[in-house]
Structure 1
Amino acid sequence: TDKTAQDAGQTGNEGIIGWYIPKFFADANPDILTTKTNPQILNKYADQFKTSESGGKGQILDGDPSFVTQDQAMINGFGLNFKVVYSGSEAASNKAIQSAIDQQKPILAYYYTPNWFSAKVALVHLEFPAYTPGCDANKTKIACDYPPYHLNKIVSTKFATSGSPAYTVIKNFTWTNDDQNSVAADITGSMSDDDAAKKWLDANPDKWKAWLPQG
């Protein structure tokens, strides 16, 4: 069967889902960053992440309860004295994170990057034992991190074989999470799509010139 679409390579982005804390808290408590080899270190800080909603345990803030996460399973798998509390939405989580940082209060939250909000606040990803295929098979008790996600460019075969220089640009296109976050933050901050793109292009000529057909 003839393929109607094909892979034009990775975008350069890496989707990183997981648990995040404010950078100021990580800087003040560097041993919390040892969760990759010692996940139970979080229990040392459970009291500092407590809220009125977490029932005497540390709080991990999730967003919309209808969005499936593995956070409760990680609490079970690592034996953590924490409770999942739902903010209700991503917007509510953003507000809670921003408020905690503004007040220099600890917060532990489910989050992900690339995301425009990541360009606005200083968050640090807590790494846990790396994901390996099958480590999340038991959906109630997981002792590994979320898997990373690599994003690919998918194009029509017709476009890929058209000889168009535009395909060369798409195939060569690559940028980082920081690149995407900065453009997305500008757009969210009321800049037009075109103006945000132009700002990035003006600041990164070496990157986009490498995408162009050569010769």
Structure 2
Amino acid sequence: MTRRTSSESRTPRTTRTPRTTRTPRTTRGSRAPGASRTRLTAALAVLVLATGCGAADMTRQASPFANAQGSRTVTLSVQSWVGAQANVAVAQYLLERELGYRVDTVQVDEVPAWDALSQGRVDAILEDWGHPEQERRYVEDKRTIVDGGRLGVTGHIGWFVPTYFAKQHPDVTDWKNLDKYADRFRTPESGGKGQLLDGSPSYVTNDKALVKNLDLDYRVVFAGSEAAQITQMRQFAKERKPFLTYWYSPQWLFEKVPMTEVELPEYEEGCDADPEAVACAYPHTPLRKYLNSDFARSGGDAAAFLRNFKWTTEDQNEVSLMIADQKLTPDRAAAKWAERHESTWKAWLPG
């Protein structure tokens, strides 16, 4: 199942998050030393100059440290949704404090992340929602990417309504009854149709095809990002208004805004093979990690650690909630999680 990122994917950008101060080592790793900031800044300046006036074309080049043979630097791809950010925050924290690596992060959409990983511009993707075409191309055919194992989290996309509305109108959870409530879900953005709220246009979604193929009186309206979508849903919930939304688990928002899934036609293997003809639910997908093949062979303790990195939906949601709702920095959220779960992450460290 492709979770996000379409052919309209955004240009990835390098997100450098070195730490300039250190706290005494307690349970895991901090980020790069202050001296690395100077080296990275100089390297990025070269990249910008190399591309002429304007921003560097980061679809062709990302971190200057990625796949640096023999260096103690790891470059991680980080996607825009907070669950993926939680994975990277904890991995970065431990790689730096426990194993002594410098960690660079590159924000890049899903499909371009596979291209970057294949070319060695990033070393690892920690949360992939299923991209069969990329798996065939890079894992099976070119062998430039290797499977890094399961993340430990199972992902699922679906259509959801707030539980307070589902309790009042139990039949809304059957897709066949959605048109009955289209006027209740109508917004200025959806015109005369019911609104199906989606996140970013760059996320892969079957929703437009589903609305068309199920002959529903709805219009897909994009909020623009996960954060904007959350803001809208929380506002609807605050006012106890009904809404229908594309959403996914794991996701911390379920703890703040309880939602009930709408049952779409049952998913069967291959029912989503033709994007234009999809008329079934989204599958449940065990999320996986992927490593650049050269990094997997020569990445030493870092590669071993990332292969071992495996946690639960509850773990990820705990960190995500601290980042998105409590407004902790990713580093601080990772630190707090590590303090509470030492037995979990100790098992990830190479023997």
Q: TM-score, normalised by structure 2?
A: 0.50
Which of 32, 35, 41 is residue 172 of structure 2 equivalent to? Answer: 32
Gaps of 5+ in 1: none
1:1-215 equivalences in 2 (<5 Å): 6-33=146-173, 35=174, 39-65=175-201, 67-115=203-251, 117-155=253-291, 156-159=295-298, 162=300, 164=301, 169-188=305-324, 189-211=326-348
Q: Alignment RMSD, CA only?
A: 3.2
Structure 1 counterpart of 2:239, one-letter code: Q
> Relative to 1, partners in 2 of residues 1:92 and 1:203: Cα closer, same or farther, differing over 3 Å?
same
Q: State the 1:11 CA deviation.
A: 0.4
> Any conservation in 1 of the 2:296–2:303 contact (CA below 8 Å)?
no
Gaps of 5+ in 2: 1-140
Mapped partners of 1:51, 1:105: distance in 2 = 11
C-alpha distance in structure 2 between counterparts of 1:70 and 1:52, whole Å: 23
Letter in 2 for 1:109: T
User: Partners in 2 of 1:14 and 1:191 — Cα distance?
Assistant: 25
Secondary structure in structure 1 of the residue aligned to 2:317: helix
Is the CA contact (8 Å cut-off) linking 1:6 and 1:157 kept in structure 2?
yes
Does 22-31 or 113-122 show the bigger shift?
Answer: 113-122
Return the structure number with greater relative CO, CA threshold 8 A, min gap 6: 1
Pair 1:157–1:5, CA change in 2 (3 A): farther
Inter-CA distance 154–204: structure 2 relative to 1 (3 Å threshold):
same
Task: Please state how far the C-alpha of 1:67 moved relative to its aligned partner.
Answer: 4.8
Deviations, residues 173-209 of structure 1 (Å, cap 9, x unaligned)? 3222332122123123332333312322333355445
Task: Report the Cα distance in structure 1 between the residues aligned to 2:336 and 2:195, rounded to whole angstroms.
Answer: 39
Aligned residues: 207
Q: Judge conservation of contact 1:183–1:197 (CA < 8 Å) in 2.
A: yes
The amino acid that maps onto 2:148 is: A
TM norm structure 1: 0.75
Percentage of identical aligned residues: 42
Change (3 A) 1:130 1:204: farther
Give the Cα–Cα distance (whole angstroms) in 2 for the partners of residues 167 and 68 of structure 1.
Answer: 29
**What is the distance in 2 between the residues matched to 1:133 and 1:171?**
28
